[in-house]
Chains A and B, each alone.
Chain A
């Protein structure tokens, strides 16, 4: 008997007015770290909010651990196994970092006081906030506040971790720490994170989804996404009008994506190239 996937979406839709945020999405996924890429307005946050049980869909079905978040008791059961970092976490500014995470731990029904405090210290250490845990939220930098919110999401070792741009505002050291923590969590749980940084996805995600205008454009490994652009990336010294996308690199060369001319100097594609190609072709197609 195989275990049900952690997440199953069937014809999932959500509209804001007449604008589709998520459009007839079918997908399922299980353990591991899954990166969600897409331009602004692609529907990433809406999808994550629905998975985090804080937003109801208009149509279609969501199952998390085989449970339906539309049913109150099942939603509660999902919430007991869930950690969620929203794009903007509403941190109480007068609380210290420790007290705030402790408060969230109570909200997550961690009632043994001694175990709860140990858990709060553990998650704050995971995000590198041990030295600043007794500072008030209002005195922390934006990046530190983001780490406190992330610590709150990590409480209780959730089976599903839904993270909306977790690395936003973090410095390179903290990003590295984040990758390590999330990779560890991904060994035993499902981690679904949205990001605009393809290097992050390439670094530690086992699976990547590309979403645009609520539709799933790609689902596969980061390597598969990069290989989508194999033979379609080339370097030139002048802008190439035949390219779908071009930009000047740090070396002063021009990197192009599209259908290369016969004499082009084709180079190995990166994940960034694959993502840009998929997204640009979709834009051109529609």
Chain B
């Protein structure tokens, strides 16, 4: 009798997991249909292509700006798409199927899974930059100690943009689920992203450097390829992903994710400050 009950329970649980997977698929297709995402793809591609072929105004310009400016439009687009996706159940006058077995957290989890679309695009773009720059012989970063004509972005550096998009997407979905009207949140979010993304060079010192969304190496007299904070900063971004995923949920996993994410982000910042040569 007990084994029959256990088998039935497993079937119900398996069916539930299958439903959540199907929900994630629906949300992913919905993300693919969002105009903002395709605008982000188009502008990011344009920035990357024009940035790659343009003449440099200063030594190391391509090395420093190609990655952050290339991913910046996609970050903006992901924020807009994420807020709208997260806000879908808040923007309607009543709730849709509030009584259904798959509730708000499962729907939000599926929306978080749909971030595979913008994150996937950025992974492809970064892979293209990484492979392309290695084939072309790298970037010129000037003369002097640690300067070279063949600098390439490390794996840690190339991992940063997809993580940034994941952070921004998760934060956007959390905001979308929280606010009733997304308009003001969209405006504030875009301004904040502009302040943290497109003007990345403002974040090149001390605490700001460790906590910046997009960490771009200043090229004083540093070994840009072996700067030790890169992977620590990736961990920091991973912590932020956990934090915002937790904030987007309401159920039992929320405190674990929020605390875990905050601790990982905090420790990563401390570690960066401890080892940073800046």
Count class of interface residues, chain A:
20 to 34
Contact, CB under 8 Å: B97 / A108: yes
How far apart are B189's CB and chain A's nearest CB, in angstroms? Answer: 21
**CB nearest to B252 among chain A residues:** A72
Stretch binding the partner chain, chosen from A76-84, A247-255, A270-278: A76-84
Contact, CB under 8 Å: A82 / B89: no
B93 contacts across to A, CB distance below 8 A: 88, 90
Contact, CB under 8 Å: B97 / A104: yes
A111 contacts across to B, CB distance below 8 A: 15, 18-19, 22
Contact, CB under 8 Å: A86 / B26: no
| B 46-99 contacts with A by CB, 8 A | 88-89, 92-99
Contact, CB under 8 Å: B92 / A90: yes
Stretch binding the partner chain, chosen from B100-108, B122-130, B168-176, B259-267: B100-108
Contact, CB under 8 Å: A84 / B98: yes
A82 contacts across to B, CB distance below 8 A: 99
Of B15, B96, B101, B106, which one neighbours A92 at CB under 8 angstroms?
A: B96
**CB nearest to A104 among chain B residues:** B97
B256 on the A face (CB < 8 A): no
A109 on the B face (CB < 8 A): yes
Contact, CB under 8 Å: A108 / B98: no
- With known contacts A79-B101, A92-B88, A106–B23 Cβ distance under 8 A: yes
- With known contacts A107-B102, A109-B102, A88–B15 Cβ distance under 8 A: no
| A 89-110 contacts with B by CB, 8 A | 89-93, 100, 103-104, 106-110
Please measure, in the bound complex, the distance between the C-alpha atom of A104 and the C-alpha atom of B88, giving whole angstroms: 14
A87 contacts across to B, CB distance below 8 A: 94
A88 contacts across to B, CB distance below 8 A: 93-94
A52 on the B face (CB < 8 A): yes
A54 on the B face (CB < 8 A): yes
B10 on the A face (CB < 8 A): no
B16 on the A face (CB < 8 A): yes
A79 contacts across to B, CB distance below 8 A: 99-101
- With known contacts A90-B89, A92-B88, A108–B100 Cβ distance under 8 A: yes
Contact, CB under 8 Å: A76 / B101: yes
A100 contacts across to B, CB distance below 8 A: 96
A104 contacts across to B, CB distance below 8 A: 96-97, 100
Contact, CB under 8 Å: B92 / A109: no
Contact, CB under 8 Å: A86 / B102: no
Contact, CB under 8 Å: A103 / B101: no
Of B89, B92, B99, which one neighbours A84 at CB under 8 angstroms?
A: B99
Please measure, in the bound complex, the distance between the C-alpha atom of A87 and the C-alpha atom of B26, giving whole angstroms: 26
Please measure, in the bound complex, the distance between the C-alpha atom of A108 and the C-alpha atom of B100, giving whole angstroms: 5
A53 on the B face (CB < 8 A): yes
Interface string of B211-236 (1 = CB under 8 A from A): 00000000000000000000000000
6 pairs of residues in contact across A and B, judged by CB atoms under 8 Å: A79-B101, A89-B95, A90-B94, A106-B22, A107-B100, A107-B101
8 further A-B contacts with Cβ under 8 Å, apart from A53-B99, A108-B102, are A90-B89, A90-B96, A104-B96, A106-B102, A107-B19, A108-B100, A111-B19, A162-B99
